[in-house]
Amino acid sequence: MSSRTPLFSGSIVALITPMDNHGEVDYDELKKLVEFHIKAGTNAIVSVGTTGESATLSIDENVKTILKTVEFAAGRIPVIAGTGANATSEAITMTKLLRDSGVAGCLSVVPYYNKPTQEGMYQHFKAIAECTDLPQILYNVPGRTGSDMKPETVARLAKIPNIVAIKEATGDVSRVKLIKQLAGEDFIFLSGDDATGLESMKLGGQGVISVTNNLAAADMAKMCKFALEGNFEEAEKINQRLMPLHRDLFIEGNPIPVKWAAYKIGLIKDPFLRLPLTVLSEQAQPKVLEALKIAGLI
């Protein structure tokens, strides 16, 4: 197992970026969220990933939010920086800006919209990895990017020393064993799909980078701990209670539902999102509310 595995295993939150009602990042609220996750036993924080609205933050805002998250964490919890972009040069710029920031690693998404070939994906991630010593986590989410990075491409990239993990969000649990076979057992597999996260851990995945964790942090930490210990019966009990959240936090585009839910249970003061995202619709609110009730969060 990789010596870096403890940094990239268990329950990892894809953290929302709290904003005030003018759309400015609210650092006081961010500090409270970091404390919430430390107390809940979350294993690591992804700062400014997709759930953190990376697409509508400027590079300066991305970097400042990540640096503030590291500052608030104060070494008590690893912070993984979302550094993905659909332009390789921009992803490299972001990665270089975080060189001595104290982040534990970078999460970099398959370039979205421009649909690169498998060779293009390989060259993209290779170029990013070669610009830094920071550990790199690949992020494959075809439902959002329009491109699927194949396990064979992941295996090629796994040969680059500082590419150590993948966040795989296809929901296809058969990929766990396939990627492990092709990339090696010490290559870290993290689920990026809450609904199948526990199933992936049963098959050898080491954790979940989770949207649900924003709300049910203590439960997600316990579930992942049980799963890593092989106590799948206890893990399953928690997972079943959280399943409506796993499902309904995607009733509208992420992070619309999770931000509204975080506001509803008092974790943030305002559910504001930057356009083109808008607050959760009135039609969808009862479903998310019901999922929060089933999870015991309201």
**Can you give the pLDDT at residue 1?**
34
Confirm if 284 and 252 have CB atoms less than 8 A apart.
Answer: yes
Which residues on neighbouring strands pair with residue 107, listed in sequence order? 82, 137
CB atoms within 10 A of CB 277: 17
Residues 257-281: tens digit of each pLDDT: 999 999 999 999 999 999 999 999 9
Q: Is residue 131 domain-resident?
A: yes
Q: What is the mean pLDDT of the segment spanning 180-189?
A: 96
What three-state secondary structure class fits 146? Answer: coil
Residues 158-169: tens digit of each pLDDT: 999 999 999 999
Please, where are the H alpha helices in the chain?
27-40, 59-73, 88-97, 118-130, 142-145, 151-158, 174-183, 194-202, 217-229, 232-248, 256-264, 285-294
Q: Is residue 282 domain-resident?
A: no
pLDDT score of 7 more than 80:
no
H helix count then E strand count, the chain: 12, 8
Q: How many CA atoms lie within 13 A of 171 on its CB side?
A: 7
Which residue from 7, 83, 92 is spatially nearest to 45, judged by alpha carbons? 7
Q: Is residue 260 domain-resident?
A: no
Q: Is residue 196 domain-resident?
A: yes
Cα 250 from Cα 236, distance rounded (Å): 21
Look up the CATH number of the domain holding residue 12. 3.20.20.70
Q: Is residue 166 domain-resident?
A: yes
> Do β-strands 136-140 and 105-109 pair in parallel, antiparallel, or remain unpaired?
parallel
Is 51 assigned a ligand-binding role in the annotation? yes
Q: Is residue 246 domain-resident?
A: no
- The active-site residue out of 112, 122, 139, 263 is 139
DSSP code at position 39? H
Count: domains in the chain: 1
Output 4 or 65, whichever has higher pLDDT: 65
Is the four-CA dihedral 246, 43, 109, 148 of positive or negative sign?
Answer: negative
Q: What is the residue range of 223's domain?
A: 5-240
- Percentage of residues in the chain with pLDDT exceeding 90? 98
Q: Is residue 273 domain-resident?
A: no
- The active-site residue out of 27, 31, 112, 167 is 167
Clarify whether 139 is annotated catalytic: yes
Q: Is residue 245 domain-resident?
A: no
Clarify whether 113 is annotated catalytic: no
User: Would the pTM of this model clear 0.95, i.e. be above it?
Assistant: yes
Residues 122-134: tens digit of each pLDDT: 999 999 999 999 9
Which residue from 75, 77, 129, 76 is spatially nearest to 107, judged by alpha carbons? 129
pLDDT score of 6 more than 60:
no
